[in-house]
Amino acid sequence: MTVGVALNAADAPNQVDATVRLAQEAAAAGLRSAWFGQTFGADSPQLAAIVGREVPGLQVGTSAIPVFGRHPLPVAGQALTAQAATHGRYHLGLALGTKLLTETGFGLPFERPIARLREFLTVLRQLTQTGTADFHGELLTATTPVPARVSGAEDGVPILVAAMGPQALRVSGELADGILPYLAGPRALADHIVPALTAAAEAAGRPAPRVVALVPGVVTDDVDAVRRKATEYLAFYERIPSYARVIELSGGRRASDLAVIGDEKTVAAQVRRYRDAGATEVVFSGTEMAGDEDRRRTWALLGELAS
């Protein structure tokens, strides 16, 4: 099973330089992949491309770019460029986004998100696989009067979706290569998410998709202090219906209940639970919740599990 980390150096004096240093440290610890979030700050495909060039051998990906406020043509160009830059080690993650950020940030109505996701994925698959598109949907139009190919990315780009609800899982099983669930514990994965995703893929005649479980977690001796930080850090997600639902399905009351916090034995056991629940890959996030010593200790354990 691949084990990776989500990197966030937004508070550093230079985010790009700091992200590269963190990625080098993660690779040295034996981790296999590095993932980069997307809000309104740094451009995650660019970060992934830079890190992939600077740290050879490390898989890199975005987790995840919202489909609202974007169009498949420039997103495909970003993804294909990152794929060429990393010689095939880039993974594109998409998300529905949230009503709060979509409407306050972009001034766009958060309407028909599943239909938009379906059309976005349909166009992206055409663009990343063939470099062309001729799509006229209800919500999106994408044509290529000139080619949209990027030399060096002819093999395409794996596309994953931050899907956890039934409708998003159905679309992802039909059209994506995998999913990127966050704050979905082993119970939610095993009982709800993985079966729905697998069934949708089987019905579409496709192989079982990847399940890249993103997990907030820290190896530490100061469990109570880190748990308090996690409660504050993750509280935002409790306001978002899709996350609130999956937290409940996971048996949690607060988002921080899904954070994996403890010593090496405790954390390793939890990682194994995710694997047993159907996760093909586990990616730890939450470096912001830990000091440098605990972060290095966490990455050392994850590197051992990756090997």
Segments making up each domain of the chain, as ranges: 1-161, 181-307
pLDDT of residue 1: 54
Give backbone dihedrals phi and psi of 47, rounded to 5 degrees, phi first.
-60, -45
pLDDT of residue 9: 93
CA dihedral 165, 168, 171, 172 (to 10 degrees): -90
CB neighbours of residue 303 within 10 Å: 18
pLDDT of residue 288: 80
Q: Rounded to an integer, what is the distance from CA 119 to the centroid of its chain?
A: 20
Beta strand 141-143 pairing with 134-136: antiparallel
Structure tokens at 173: 């099983």
Amino acid occupying residue 290: A
Q: Is the pTM of this model over 0.85?
A: yes
CATH H-level, domain 1-161: superfamily? Luciferase-like domain (3.20.20.30)
| Closest to 81 in 3D by CA, of 55, 56, 57, 50 | 50
Q: Do domains 1-161 and 181-307 have the same CATH topology?
A: yes
Three-state DSSP class for 100? helix
Amino acid occupying residue 54: E
In the chain, which residue ranges form alpha helices assigned H by DSSP? 15-28, 44-54, 72-85, 99-101, 113-130, 166-175, 186-188, 194-203, 223-234, 241-249, 264-276, 292-306
Task: Give CA angle at 170 (279, 81), nearest 5°.
Answer: 70
DSSP 192: I
Helix, strand, coil shares of the chain, percent, nearest 5, are 50, 15, 35
pLDDT of residue 57: 87
- What CATH fold (topology level) applies to the domain 181-307? TIM Barrel (3.20.20)
pLDDT of residue 287: 75
Structure tokens at 128: 């990343």
Amino acid occupying residue 193: I
């938009």: which residue's tokens?
116
Mean pLDDT per 10-residue section of the chain, whose length is 307 residues: 89 96 97 95 96 96 96 98 98 94 92 98 97 97 95 96 97 98 98 98 97 98 96 94 96 97 98 97 90 95 93
- In sequence order, what are the residues at sequence separation of 6 or more whose Cβ sits closer than 8 angstroms to the Cβ of residue 95? 38, 64, 65, 66, 67, 161, 162, 180
pLDDT of residue 299: 97
- In sequence order, what are the residues at sequence separation of 6 or more whose Cβ sits closer than 8 angstroms to the Cβ of residue 176? 94, 121, 159, 160, 161, 163, 209
